Structure 1
Amino acid sequence: MDNLLSIEQLSKSFTLHNLNKHIKAVEEINLHLKEGEFVGITGKSGSGKSTVLRCIYRTYLPHSGSIWYHSQRFGRIDLATASERTIIELRKFEIGYVSQFLNVMPRTTARELVRHAIVEMGHEVDYAENETEKILEHFELDRSLWDSYPSTFSGGEKLRLNIARAMVKKPRLLLLDEPTASLDEGSKVKVKMLIEQLMKEGTTMLGIFHDLEFMQNLCNREYQIRDGKMVVKEQQEKLTTS
Structure 2
Amino acid sequence: MTTLQPSAPPADLPAGSVLSVRGLRKDFTLHTIDGRVVEALHGVDLDVAPGEHVALAGTSGAGKSTLLRCVYRTYLAGGGHIWFRTAAGDLVDVAALPDATVADLRGHEIGYVSQFLKAQPRRSVLTTVASAGTARGMARDAAREAAAAALRQVGIAEHLWDMHATVLSGGQKQRVNIAAGTIAPPRLLLLDEPVSALDPANRSAVLDLIARLERTGTAVLSVFHDLDAIERLATRVVVLGGGRVLASGPPEQILRDSSLPLEVAR
Interval of TM-score (by shorter of Structure 1 and Structure 2): over 0.9
Question: d(CA) in 1 for partners of 2:181 and 2:246?
Answer: 30
Letter in 2 for 1:28: G
* Match for residue 9 of structure 1 among 4, 23, 37: 23
Question: d(CA) in 1 for partners of 2:183 and 2:223?
Answer: 20
**2:245 aligned with 1:227, yes or no?**
no
Query: Secondary structure of the equivalent of 1:188?
Result: helix
* Residues 1-242 of structure 1: pairs in structure 2 closer than 5 A: 1-19=15-33, 20-73=35-88, 75-232=90-247, 237=257, 239-240=259-260
Letter in 2 for 1:132: A
Which consecutive residues of structure 1, in runs of 5 or more, have no partner in the other structure? none
Question: d(CA) in 1 for partners of 2:85 and 2:259?
Answer: 34
Question: d(CA) in 2 for partners of 1:166 and 1:51?
Answer: 19
Letter in 2 for 1:138: Q
Distance apart, 1:45 and its partner CA = 2.1
Question: d(CA) in 2 for partners of 1:227 and 1:14?
Answer: 14
Query: Secondary structure of the equivalent of 1:239?
Result: coil
Indicate the percent of aligned positions where both proteins have the same amino acid. Answer: 37
Letter in 2 for 1:239: S
Query: 8 Å contact 2:83–2:91 — kept in the other structure?
Result: yes
Letter in 2 for 1:112: T
- How many correspondences in the alignment? 241
Structure 1 residues 240 and 232 mapped into 2: Cα distance closer, same or farther (>3 Å)?
closer
Query: 8 Å contact 2:237–2:248 — kept in the other structure?
Result: no
Query: 8 Å contact 2:23–2:43 — kept in the other structure?
Result: yes
Distance apart, 1:241 and its partner CA = 10
Letter in 1 for 2:192: D
CA RMSD, 1 decimal: 2.0
Distance apart, 1:63 and its partner CA = 0.3
Question: d(CA) in 1 for partners of 2:197 and 2:221?
Answer: 19
Distance apart, 1:100 and its partner CA = 1.0
Question: d(CA) in 2 for partners of 1:151 and 1:176?
Answer: 21
Question: d(CA) in 1 for partners of 2:59 and 2:207?
Answer: 22
Query: 8 Å contact 2:59–2:261 — kept in the other structure?
Result: no
Distance apart, 1:48 and its partner CA = 1.0
Query: Secondary structure of the equivalent of 2:44?
Result: strand
Distance apart, 1:170 and its partner CA = 0.7
Which consecutive residues of structure 2, in runs of 5 or more, have no partner in the other structure? 1-14
Structure 1 residues 217 and 105 mapped into 2: Cα distance closer, same or farther (>3 Å)?
closer
Displaced runs of 4+ in structure 1, greater than 3 A?
none
Query: 8 Å contact 2:109–2:136 — kept in the other structure?
Result: no
Question: d(CA) in 1 for partners of 2:85 and 2:105?
Answer: 11
> Structure 1-normalised TM-score?
0.93
Distance apart, 1:196 and its partner CA = 2.1
